[in-house]
């Protein structure tokens, strides 16, 4: 999918006019009859007017400025674009030009963004009729005085990053084991200009990453630990930001096997945090944002193999603490803990992790949002909330009170890897905090990383949620 700025109106390409009460249709080369038709047909914000011209289609989409907050209106444009994208593909339209008619450029860009995001498909494994399934739409032109080439180019980068995150989430374990995940990072690094170092099982052993090694014991595949770094020449930050992503390429639950196929059949998506963090870094590097960022992804599958870790085991973690494993299905925190302790090496400004960590987070807020918590400055949470509204990858802050740590105290080790059912996403976050010694934000995307049913431009399957949020968050730091 390509997005580009166009400075003059084409007479060949199909068009979408984003119209409002002030739009002067005489500016767009319509005949008097066509203008009459448009004015008569334009009724609401739901049904665009469609003109079938000789060699193209023209859609006039009316939006009223209803005085709602800007981010709500922006999302209205995205929702409308998603609906229209189905129509464009059913009409086999390949190129569409979006004309902003003097609108707020944010809305025009959001409309184009959603057209692009709505067009994502994962067709790799179809052998029959795959070509017939391919969406026709492949080019979006944007005609807007106020939008710079750079801002459209940046949107292209972010869309590419989201597509790549979705692809990685949609890839099954039969393709994407830990080693393949790391190879993908290397390719991304070459493309965007960041370095990638991958620690092998031996090196992971040398690092004493007891959590990652414990989870990996039930698997016949080796674990990996990927270290990605983007350091521009004049960064705004002296100390790096470190992003940590959960890379469980498949989660069976291990010996504490997941109880139903329903709870397991989409667990190829349990590396969603790793896909999000690596692709947020990809977008930051590709857009050459002047910010020094490192991404760490510990990766393995979680299986009940012969030598698998079992409930009751006590694990020595990288930072020297001991963990009593009471449920092998709480594996994400075991591998993230070692990555968080590794992050201390960088004396970071701030560390953010992102993980499909708990069913508890998903049950609390569903697929509509993202749970965040942590001990970083309030201003970081404010910035995340702002970017969350703007990208509509909305975040909700959960409490991070010390009393929750009481719930994961073990009788035989420094802590246990599960607390009671209540506040499960918070005790998971408090567990992770034990492995940090810097300002910390924890992001739980269990509810929104993978969708069983299409939800607007977020699509079905992997959503790549968090990429747009984090890109916007870092971009604003650079402004």
CA angle 164, 165, 170 (to 5 degrees): 95
Q: Would you call 170 exposed, middle or buried from its count of C-beta atoms within 10 A (0-12, 13-18, 19+)?
A: buried
Alpha-carbon span 111 to 99, nearest angstrom: 10
Alpha-carbon span 359 to 320, nearest angstrom: 28
User: Is 383 in a helix, a strand, or coil?
Assistant: helix
Residue 360 in the binding site for ligand BES (CB under 6 A): yes
End-to-end CA distance of the chain: 27
Checking DSSP bridges between strand 461-462 and strand 450-451, what pairing results, if any? antiparallel
Alpha-carbon span 45 to 253, nearest angstrom: 46
Residue 434 in the binding site for ligand BES (CB under 6 A): no
Residue 270 in the binding site for Zn ion (CB under 5 A): yes
Residue 356 in the binding site for ligand BES (CB under 6 A): yes
Binding mask 237-256 vs Zn ion (x if CB under 5 A, - otherwise)? -----------x--x-----
Other CB atoms within 10 A of residue 149 CB: 11
CB of 430 to Zn ion, least distance (A): 18
Is residue 333 flagged as an active site residue? yes
Q: What residue is closest to ligand BES based on CB? A: 359
Residue among 166, 246, 318, 333 flagged as catalytic: 333
Residue 376 in the binding site for Zn ion (CB under 5 A): no
Q: Would you call 165 exposed, middle or buried from its count of C-beta atoms within 10 A (0-12, 13-18, 19+)?
A: buried
Q: How many residues bind ligand BES (CB under 6 A)?
A: 16
Concatenating the DSSP letter of every residue in 221-238 gives SPPEEEEEEE--SS-S-S
Q: 331 vs 393, which CB is nearer to ligand BES? A: 331
Stretch of 103-111, 160-168, 216-224, 358-366 lying at the interface with ligand BES (CB under 6 A): 358-366
Q: 38 vs 169, which CB is nearer to ligand BES? A: 169
Alpha-carbon span 18 to 262, nearest angstrom: 42
87-146: which residues touch Zn ion (CB under 5 A)? none
Residue 82 in the binding site for ligand BES (CB under 6 A): no
User: Is 191 in a helix, a strand, or coil?
Assistant: helix
CB of 257 to Zn ion, least distance (A): 10
Residue 423 near which of Zn ion, ligand BES, none (CB within 5-8 Å, type-dependent): none
Alpha-carbon span 303 to 328, nearest angstrom: 9
Task: Rule CB under 6 A: choose which of 358, 367, 387, 448 binds ligand BES.
Answer: 358
Task: Rule CB under 6 A: choose which of 154, 177, 184, 270 binds ligand BES.
Answer: 270
Stretch of 104-112, 229-237, 355-363, 458-466 lying at the interface with ligand BES (CB under 6 A): 355-363
Q: 60 vs 334, which CB is nearer to Zn ion? A: 334
Q: 282 vs 431, which CB is nearer to Zn ion? A: 431
Q: Would you call 422 exposed, middle or buried from its count of C-beta atoms within 10 A (0-12, 13-18, 19+)?
A: exposed
Checking DSSP bridges between strand 139-143 and strand 2-5, what pairing results, if any? parallel
Close Cβ partners of 268 (under 8 Å, ≥ 6 residues apart): 169, 170, 171, 172, 173, 176, 249, 250
Q: To which H or E segment does residue 98 belong? A: strand 95-99
Q: 102 vs 359, which CB is nearer to ligand BES? A: 359
Q: 248 vs 350, which CB is nearer to Zn ion? A: 248
Is residue 363 flagged as an active site residue? no
Binding mask 408-427 vs ligand BES (x if CB under 6 A, - otherwise)? ----------x-----x---
Stretch of 184-192, 287-295, 326-334, 464-472 lying at the interface with ligand BES (CB under 6 A): 326-334
318-337: which residues touch Zn ion (CB under 5 A)? 329, 331-332
CB of 446 to Zn ion, least distance (A): 8
Residue 311 in the binding site for ligand BES (CB under 6 A): no
C-alpha separations of 92 from 56, 114, 135, 297 in Å: 11, 18, 8, 40
Token pair listed for 119: 């067009």
Contact 345, 290 (CB under 8 A): no
52-91: which residues touch Zn ion (CB under 5 A)? none
Stretch of 37-45, 142-150, 350-358, 390-398 lying at the interface with ligand BES (CB under 6 A): 350-358
Binding mask 157-196 vs ligand BES (x if CB under 6 A, - otherwise)? ----------------------------------------
Task: Rule CB under 6 A: choose which of 105, 232, 311, 359 binds ligand BES.
Answer: 359
Alpha-carbon span 28 to 375, nearest angstrom: 54
Q: 251 vs 434, which CB is nearer to ligand BES? A: 251
CB of 251 to ligand BES, least distance (A): 5
Close Cβ partners of 337 (under 8 Å, ≥ 6 residues apart): 211, 317, 318, 319, 323, 431, 432, 434, 435
Residue 156 near which of Zn ion, ligand BES, none (CB within 5-8 Å, type-dependent): none
Q: To which H or E segment does residue 314 belong? A: strand 314-316
Catalytic positions are 258, 333
Q: For binding to ligand BES (CB under 6 A), which residues are involved? A: 251, 270, 327, 329-332, 356-360, 362, 418, 424, 446
Q: For binding to Zn ion (CB under 5 A), which residues are involved? A: 248, 251, 270, 329, 331-332
């Amino acid at each position: 999918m390509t997005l580009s700025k166009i400075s003059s109106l084409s007479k060949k390409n199909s068009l979408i006019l984003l119209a409002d009460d002030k739009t002067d249709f005489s500016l767009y080369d319509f005949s008097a009859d066509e203008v009459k038709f448009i004015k008569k047909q334009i009724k609401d914000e739901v049904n665009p007017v469609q003109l079938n011209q000789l060699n193209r289609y023209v859609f006039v989409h009316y939006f009223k400025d209803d005085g709602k907050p800007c981010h709500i209106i922006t999302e209205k444009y995205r929702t409308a674009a998603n609906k229209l994208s189905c129509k464009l593909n059913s009409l086999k339209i390949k190129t569409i030009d979006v004309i902003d008619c003097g609108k707020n450029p944010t809305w025009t860009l959001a409309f184009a963004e959603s057209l692009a995001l709505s067009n994502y498909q994962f067709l790799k494994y179809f052998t029959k009729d795959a070509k017939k399934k391919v969406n026709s739409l492949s080019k979006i032109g944007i005609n807007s005085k106020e939008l710079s080439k750079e801002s459209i180019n940046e949107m292209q980068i972010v869309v590419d990053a989201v597509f790549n995150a979705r692809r990685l989430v949609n890839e099954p374990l039969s393709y994407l084991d830990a080693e393949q995940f790391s190879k993908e990072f290397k390719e991304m690094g070459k493309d965007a200009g960041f370095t990638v170092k991958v620690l092998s099982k031996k090196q992971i052993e040398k690092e004493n990453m007891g959590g990652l090694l414990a989870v990996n014991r039930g698997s016949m595949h080796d674990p990996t630990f990927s270290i990605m770094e983007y350091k521009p020449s004049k960064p705004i930050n002296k100390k790096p930001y470190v992003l940590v992503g959960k890379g469980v390429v498949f989660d069976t639950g291990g010996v504490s096997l997941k109880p139903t196929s329903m709870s397991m059949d989409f667990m190829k998506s349990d590396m969603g945090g790793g896909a999000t963090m690596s692709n947020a870094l990809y977008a930051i590097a590709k857009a050459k944002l002047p910010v020094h960022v490192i991404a760490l992804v510990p990766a393995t599958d979680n299986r009940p193999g012969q030598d698998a870790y079992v409930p009751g085991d006590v694990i020595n973690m990288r930072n020297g603490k001991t963990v009593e494993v009471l449920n092998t299905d709480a594996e994400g925190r075991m591998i993230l803990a070692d990555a968080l302790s590794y992050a201390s090496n960088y004396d970071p400004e701030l560390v953010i992790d992102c993980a499909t960590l708990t069913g508890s987070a998903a049950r609390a807020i569903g697929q509509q949002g993202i749970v965040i918590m942590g001990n970083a400055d309030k201003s970081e949470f404010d910035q995340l909330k702002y970017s969350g509204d703007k990208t509509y990858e909305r975040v909700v802050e959960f409490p991070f009170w010390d009393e929750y740590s009481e719930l994961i105290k073990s009788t035989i080790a420094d802590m246990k890897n599960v607390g009671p059912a209540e506040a499960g996403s918070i005790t998971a976050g408090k567990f992770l905090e034990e492995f940090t010694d810097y300002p910390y934000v924890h992001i739980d995307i269990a509810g929104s990383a993978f969708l069983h049913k299409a939800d607007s431009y977020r699509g079905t399957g992997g959503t790549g949620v968090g990429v747009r949020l984090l890109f916007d968050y870092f971009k604003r730091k650079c402004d």
